[in-house]
Amino acid sequence: MAMRSSKNNQQPTPSAGTITAIRAQARDSQRVNLEINGEFALGVSLDILAHEGLFVGQHLDDAKILQLLASVAFDRAKQSALRLLEIRPRSQREIHERLRQRGFDADTISAVTARLSAIGLLDDTAFATYLVEQRQRASNRGGSAIRQDLRRHGIDTNTISTVADSHHLGDDDEAHALTYARKISRRLRGLDRTTFTRRLGGSLQRRGFTGSAMRNAMQIVWQEIQQGIDFTLSDDDEENSDTD
């Protein structure tokens, strides 16, 4: 049976014909293979099979074939997005980009993101809240860096402002800067003050802390180092520190 190209996740387009067999897939009990005119045509989920009312002996014209391919692409893209969301919350832009990288066309991606948004599984406000709370718990990012993270994930300005205000983003920059500086202080011991300031200041700046928070942290930690105060680091702290 001749196949034509299709834009839906690079799925070949079967020619019109009659369904001659519907066979269960060996590796996935929730999917079946359709045969048209005696040859494999495409695999579909049981949901699509039932929703489209497919049966052996049914004739599928070109329009019906394209409709099925669109349904298959939507189902594949949705399942791909759901697997990503099972790991952690995602922004709409992130899901859009990941699906695009996997070869889904723009119409399919838009349909999937709209569907997931409508049922509350894709929510930029919820994602922004998750990211801010995660960064605040880690205490190694300043408010401006967290805002930049949100922008990078495609969160709009109004949502950023709302979530930032509700979480008092940036209010604890001095405390967080000091906590982070203390975490990496072991690697800075023995340095002269100029090198100490350059390395610690650069690390704090890359993490988006304000100038005043940086200066306060550098002064306190320098004094503590001179006094021989030690701060024990966990293995995770050692791995996550950045003093380059």
User: Phi and psi of 36, rounded to 5°?
Assistant: -120, 125
More confident residue, 239 or 189: 189
More confident residue, 107 or 236: 107
Give the ranges where 34-153 is alpha helix by DSSP (H): 46-52, 62-87, 92-101, 106-118, 124-138, 143-152
102-142 pLDDT, tens digit per residue, is 999 999 999 999 999 999 999 999 999 999 999 888 877 89
150-162 pLDDT, tens digit per residue, is 999 999 999 999 9
Distance, CA of 88 to CA of 175 (rounded, Å)? 28
User: Phi and psi of 27, rounded to 5°?
Assistant: -100, -5
Q: Is the pTM of this model over 0.85?
A: no
pLDDT score of 3: 43
pLDDT score of 231: 63
Distance, CA of 128 to CA of 160 (rounded, Å)? 7
> Which of 57, 54, 36, 49 lies closest to 75, judged by CA?
49
Residues 6+ away with beta carbon under 8 Å from 78: 112, 115, 116
Which whole number is the average pLDDT over 19-36? 95
pLDDT beyond 70 at 198: yes
pLDDT score of 238: 40
Per cent of the chain over pLDDT 70 is: 89
Between the two ends of the chain, the Cα-to-Cα distance in Å is 61
pLDDT score of 6: 46
Q: Report long-range pairs for 152-158 (Cβ below 8 Å, ≥24 apart).
A: 153/91, 153/93, 153/94, 153/127, 154/91, 154/92, 154/93, 154/94, 154/124, 155/91, 155/124, 155/127, 155/128, 156/124
201-229 pLDDT, tens digit per residue, is 999 998 889 889 999 999 999 999 888 87
Q: Do residues 68 and 42 touch, judged by C-beta distance below 8 A?
A: yes
What are the structure tokens assigned to 50, written together? 């039932």
Beta strands in 72-217 (DSSP E): none
Q: Do residues 161 and 132 touch, judged by C-beta distance below 8 A?
A: no
Which whole number is the average pLDDT over 184-192? 86
CA dihedral 173, 178, 183, 185 (to 10 degrees): 140
pLDDT beyond 50 at 5: no
Least confident of 64-73, 130-139, 196-205: 130-139
